[in-house]
Structure 1
C-alpha cells in the first residue's frame, strides 16, 4: 500500500501524457450532445470517486447525477429509461458481475457509457462506449490507493475538458508534482492520535465528501478502526449525539463555497469536546494537518495522497498489515 500510494504522482503524469486527446474528444462530444442527467456506477473506493464526479457534474455542468442501484439491473432485471443520459462507471478491475451487468443494461437502455478502469481488457471496458484507462499500473495491495487518485484525476480532467475550463486544465498539469509534495507532508499528529482509538467520524462536504467516505473505508480496511463518514452538515442531524469529550474526528475542507459552513461545524464540535483533526482549517480548538494551496477541485485529491501515508502508518501502529486486511480480497465480485 505504501509503495503503491507513493506512485500516484507518476501515474497521473502518465495520464496527462497519454489520455489527453481521448478525454478532449469525449469532452467535445458531451458539449455537442449534453446529457440531461447522469448516473454513476462503482463499488468501494470507486464509488467514492463517483461521489466526487457527482459534485463536479452538478456544480460545474448543472447535470443532475445519481448513483445507480446495481441490483436494479443485476438482480431485479429491470430496465431503465436512459436516453440522453451519461453513465460514468469507475472500477479498478472492471470484473464485478453486478457492475458489468448494470453498465451493459444502461448502454442498452440508451445511456452513453464512459468507463474509467485500470484493467483496459476487462469486461467493463468491453461494455462501454468509451474506456478511459486510469494508467495506475499494477495495484496489488487490497486497499486501493493510486487507482482512487487516478480516478479522481481522470474525472477532474474530463469535467475540465467538457467545460473548456482552461484555468483548471492548467492547474491539473501541476498535479503530479503536487502529489509528490503532498506525500511528504507530516500528518503524524493524526496517526499518533488514532492509533489507540476504537471509533471515530470522518467529515467532508461537497467536493470533499467522497474523500471522507474513502478515508472512513480505509480506516476500517487497514486499521480495523470503526470510522463513519458524514457530510459536515449531516453530522449535526443526529450523529453528533455520539460526541463526548475526546471523541476523534478527521475532517477534510477544501477552499470553496462549503468552507465557511464546514468550519462553523468543526469548531462547534470541537467546542463540545471532540478531538478534531483538520485538513484545510486552522483554529485554536482543532489540530491542523498540513495541506497544499491548490485549485479547490484538486485539493481533495492532494489531501487523499497525504491521508494514505498517514493511514498506512496508523495501521502499522495498531499492529495491522495494511496490505492484507482480514476477510477481504483485491478483486471482489458481487452479483
Structure 2
C-alpha cells in the first residue's frame, strides 16, 4: 500500500486565535531573528568595529510607538553593557520647532518598522547635519529613513500586515542585542542571543491562560518592569490598549510606588515583568507589596513566577522572550473581548506623524 502524500493528509483547522495575522506574525519571529542574526553579521560587525575606534560621546534615539519602546531597551542595554549615556530625542524638536541639535560626535540611532514617518526622517536628517553618525534599524530598507542614514541595519522581520507591530519590535530588540554584543565584544551575550530563536519556540506553549481569564472583563491594568524589563512593560501595555481596548499603563517598579500605587486596591490587576539580574529582588518586593493590598498580581519571570517564559543565560535577552509569549496571550485576550487584533479601530499600520 502506498503512503498518503503528505500534502493530502488531513490537518486540524487553526483555532480562532491561530487564524489571526497577529498570531502568525508572532510565530514567525523566531525564524526572522535567526535569519537576521546571520544576514546582519557583516554590517553589524563593521559598525561595531567603527564604534570601538570612534567611541560616541552619547547615543540619542529616535522612534515612535513600539519602536520607541525598543529604544527604552536600547537605553538600558547600551548604558549597562557599554557605558555610553543614551537618551531619547523627541522628533518634534526638529519637525515642529526646527531646533538645531548639537550632536557632533554622537551616535543617532533611529528605529522604525516602515521608515516613513516624516518627523523621524526629519530628525535623522537634522542629526546627520549636526555631526552625528546616523544608524537606522529599519524593516523597510528602501524607505526615506534608510536613505537618510549613514548605516542601515535591516530588521529582516519580513512583511508585517497586522496593524499591531509584533515581530518588528522583537527584531528591533535582537538587532540591538547583536550590536551590543559585537560592539562590546561580549561573547556571553553573543552566545545567549544565538539561543534566542530556539528559546522562543520552546517557550511558546507556556500556559498564560490565567492572565487571559483574569483580564477578560478588566477595565484598567498596570504593567510593571524595571531595567531591561521596563521596555517589555511599555510594549505590552501598548498592545493591551491597541488590540484589547484595555486601559493599560506601564511603570517602572520604582516609579509605581509613588502616586500610581494609590489607585491600586482589592482586585486591581497588575502584571510584572522580571529578569534575573540586580533588579529582580526589588521588583519582586514591589509585587509583594501589591499582593498585600489584595491586588490581582501576576509575575512573569524566566523559568518561574505566575507566568513563565523560557529562561536564557543572559538577562538582557529576557524581555524579548517575555514579550513574545505575552503577545500570544494578548492575541487571545483581544478575541475573548470581541475584538479583531489585526485591525484595531482608528489605527493604521503606518502613522506618518509630522
The CA distance in 1 between the partners of 2:204 and 2:38, in whole Å, is: 22
Shift of residue 177 of structure 1?
Answer: 0.8
| RMSD over aligned Cα atoms | 1.1
Partner of 1:297: 316
The CA distance in 1 between the partners of 2:87 and 2:135, in whole Å, is: 15
The CA distance in 1 between the partners of 2:292 and 2:252, in whole Å, is: 19
The CA distance in 1 between the partners of 2:303 and 2:48, in whole Å, is: 37
The CA distance in 2 between the partners of 1:273 and 1:156, in whole Å, is: 37
The CA distance in 2 between the partners of 1:98 and 1:180, in whole Å, is: 36
Q: Is the 8 A contact 2:163 2:347 kept in 1?
A: yes
Shift of residue 66 of structure 1?
Answer: 0.8
Partner of 2:263: 242
The CA distance in 1 between the partners of 2:123 and 2:327, in whole Å, is: 30
- Partner residue of 2:152 out of 131, 137, 145: 131
Partner of 1:318: 337
Report the number of matched residues. Answer: 332
2:215 counterpart of 1:194: yes
Partner of 2:25: 4
Counterpart mapping for 1:44-123 below 5 A: 44-123=65-144
Q: Is the 8 A contact 2:302 2:309 kept in 1?
A: no
- Partner residue of 1:205 out of 218, 226, 244: 226
Q: Is the 8 A contact 1:282 1:288 kept in 2?
A: no
The CA distance in 2 between the partners of 1:323 and 1:188, in whole Å, is: 20
Q: Which runs of 4+ in 1 moved over 3 A?
A: none
Q: Is the 8 A contact 1:39 1:88 kept in 2?
A: yes
The CA distance in 2 between the partners of 1:210 and 1:71, in whole Å, is: 22
Partner of 1:308: 327
- Partner residue of 2:280 out of 237, 256, 259: 259
Shift of residue 183 of structure 1?
Answer: 2.0
Unaligned residue ranges in structure 1 (runs of 5+): none
Q: Is the 8 A contact 2:302 2:308 kept in 1?
A: no
The CA distance in 1 between the partners of 2:352 and 2:39, in whole Å, is: 29
The CA distance in 2 between the partners of 1:21 and 1:55, in whole Å, is: 25
Q: Is the 8 A contact 2:200 2:310 kept in 1?
A: no
Shift of residue 264 of structure 1?
Answer: 0.8
Unaligned residue ranges in structure 2 (runs of 5+): 1-21
Compared CA separation, residues 151 and 238, structure 1 to 2 (3 A): same
Counterpart mapping for 1:275-294 below 5 A: 275-280=296-301, 288-294=306-312
TM-score normalised to the size of structure 1?
A: 0.97
The structure with the largest alpha-carbon Rg is 2
Compared CA separation, residues 9 and 126, structure 1 to 2 (3 A): same
Shift of residue 195 of structure 1?
Answer: 1.0
- SS state at 1:257 partner: coil
TM-score normalised to the size of structure 2?
A: 0.92
Shift of residue 292 of structure 1?
Answer: 1.6
